[in-house]
A and B are shown apart, each in its own frame.
Chain A
Amino acid sequence: MAKARVATLWLDGCSGCHMSLLDMDERLLEIAAKIELVYSPVVDAKEFPDNVDLTLVEGAIASDEDIEKIQRVRCKTKLLVALGDCAVTGNVPAMRNNFVLEDVLRRGYVENATANQGPPMNEVPKLEPKVIPLHELVAVDLFVPGCPPSADLIYFLLSEVLAGRVPDLSTRSHFGN
């Protein structure tokens, strides 16, 4: 049987969900033997490839580049998983939604700056006025809350999916802790 083609994507999050993935420790190498990791921050991958079986997405959607990425990834992925509270609800990144974006930028680049003040304009993505969770923009097949989801939960998720089952996370996952 061909190895499952798996990808991980990191949008507007803290990387804690990816670190939890690495926290599988030796089990990471066990899983790695059963899959082809075709795209991820932890490997030198090319552009997001076609025909991906499973993509784990960490983080919320905060910029025009995030929008472009998640739409491309959705088109090329069979099973798209919202991994962690930021992907599922917007969580901490969405806390800036209570403020006007210009004010948030002014704090960082004018009030808390002493030279060359003003928001960066070149080479940086355009920030969206509001940060949103994945399902507001694309269809999500599985929601895995947690800040971050534990390594045990991620291992269970991957094991079930690789065995061809839809994992039942109802009693295993929760928001926050």
Chain B
Amino acid sequence: MQTIRIDGVTRVEGHGRITVQLDDHGEVQDAHLHVLQFRGFEKFCEGRPFYEMPSLTARICGICPISHLLAGAKACDAIMGLRIPEAAEMLRRVVHLAQIVQSHALSFFYLSSPDFLMGWDADPSERNFLGLAEKHPDLAISGVRLRKWGQQVIELLGGKRIHTHWIVPGGVTSPLTVAVRDEILKGIPEALATATRTLQFFKHMMEKLSDEADSFGNFPTLFMTIGRKDGNLCLYGARRRHEGWLRFADADGNIVADNIHPRDYQDYIGEGVDSSSFMKAPYYKPLGFPDGIYRVGPAARLNMARQCGTPLADEALNEFRRAYAEISLSSFHNHYARLIEIIFAIERMEQILREPEILDKDIRAEAKANEPEGVGIIEAPRGTLIHHYKVDSNGMMTGANLIVATAHNTLAMNRGLKQVADRHLSGHDITEGMLNRMEGLIRSFDPCLSCATHASGSMALTVNLLDTKGNLKQCITRSR
């Protein structure tokens, strides 16, 4: 038996290591993603006032702090037992959609597109965003401007781009002004044009990526998302409509569990420990561990959505379904789904911003802790995010459970790694480009390992082939 170690995975949000076990004939036996740091928010929040939690948990992740602010605020709303003002909910939805744009743009342009445009086997020293800026400046500038716009909307609403304090239990801290609304609306045409142009470009590129679509996490699993009553794409879940409850579907798209109230999530989701990773592996409880494998994220959401609910995004989704499948089983299609969701997010933002009620000055409800527990769930860019808080009678935290989007995909990422390894590594002399495909599988999930526990920054890629006694047989290092 030999072990290949990819240490660490590059161009993902965080630090991970991949190991692949080969038998004596070079056939892949198993493959695994290891996440390497741990912080302990679930414990060290103890004794702090519950209303600090959104701001504190935002520090789980600088890429999608809005997700943690929103899930945390929803959990606090539930602890207070109140319904937030309508304008506050609309504003939360707008800032969430802005985050979808910036986070998906980061994943597509900055992290993954170098593989598509420069090639999986390209010189690693150029296969990055700065290399892209030299070779394909138009696309790079598109990426910079689209991400920038999403971040600017967050800043216009919340005062700063990263770790805003504007989203709070009970609502938001300040109402929307006409000037800010108009400033956001002004940017929508360019953002939408950039997003649709990028989708057209990627659609053509997909023709050359059929091998990846076939082998990057292409297998049946369950899917999970939060849902709307009309079955359309749901990212925030309006409390006044009793939406945003959990929903599971099988690989054929049949709903297997529906209308799961956030407070009942533990009846359906268990958390298994992976003894070689700080990232846990949630599973669908009725099927047990590890058989209860399911996936979340952009492709899972679109699989489970009847439609997106906005004109251009619906057109794009229908076109995708005609070209590929009603229910896509390939995790590589997350890239495509992200571009559709960017279009949806921009269109939906405009719809919400044009409703006059969004300018209402009543944007925050106040209450003390009235319930001993609260659960807040949203669809973060990478999938379903669950915050569960427990408080004492004074509203001080006694414990928390957090299940982040990336963790739901743990079992699927490991199975996907095995699939890519089987396709590209088995029985071959191993090249750097093959290993980059293993990392590409991970990138297609756009995992946030920072969220999943935490991440660090060693980006060296050294592969050691060891024999059964641990002796070094072959060492491959990327020279950049």
Contacts and interface: CB of A to CB of B under 8 A. Distances in A.
Interface string A88-99: 000111011011
Contact of A108 (B38, B127, B160): B38
Contacts of A8: 457
A121 interface: yes
B450 A43 contact: no
A150 B162 CA distance: 9
B144 A105 contact: no
A19 B61 CA distance: 10
B34 A123 contact: yes
Contact of B148 (A25, A98, A150): A25
A19 B38 contact: no
Nearest to A94: B44
Contact of B133 (A29, A63, A120): A29
Contacts of B259: none
B474 interface: no
A177 interface: yes
Contact of B61 (A12, A15, A103): A15
Interface stretch (A74-82, A109-117, A134-142, A159-167): A109-117
A93 B39 contact: yes
Interface string B242-285: 00000000000000000000000000001111111110100101
B22 to A, nearest CB: 17
A78 to B, nearest CB: 19
Given A19-B162, A32-B133, A115 B456 contact: no
A123 B271 contact: no
A124 B42 contact: no
B43 interface: yes
B207 to A, nearest CB: 26
Nearest to A16: B62
A124 B278 contact: yes
Contacts of A44: 10-11, 124-125, 127-128, 459, 461, 478, 480
Interface in A1-52: 8-20, 22-23, 25-26, 28-29, 32, 37, 39-48
A120 B478 contact: no
A133 interface: no
Interface residues of B, number: 76
B162 A115 contact: no
A115 B62 contact: no
Contacts of B72: none
B458 interface: yes
B277 A124 contact: yes
Given A120-B274, A123-B276, A124-B276, A32 B455 contact: no
A16 B459 CA distance: 18
Interface in B94-149: 106, 110, 124-125, 127-130, 133, 140-141, 144-145, 147-148
A112 B42 contact: yes
B36 A125 contact: yes
Interface of B: 10-11, 13-15, 17, 19, 34-40, 42-44, 46, 56, 59-63, 65, 106, 110, 124-125, 127-130, 133, 140-141, 144-145, 147-148, 151, 160-163, 165, 270-278, 280, 283, 285, 288-289, 399, 401, 450, 454-462, 477-480
Interface of A: 8-20, 22-23, 25-26, 28-29, 32, 37, 39-48, 58-59, 62-63, 65-66, 69, 91-93, 95-96, 98-99, 103-105, 107-109, 111-125, 127, 147-148, 150-151, 177
18 contacts: A11-B457, A14-B59, A20-B161, A25-B148, A26-B141, A26-B148, A40-B457, A43-B128, A43-B130, A44-B124, A46-B460, A47-B460, A69-B458, A108-B280, A114-B289, A117-B273, A120-B276, A120-B277
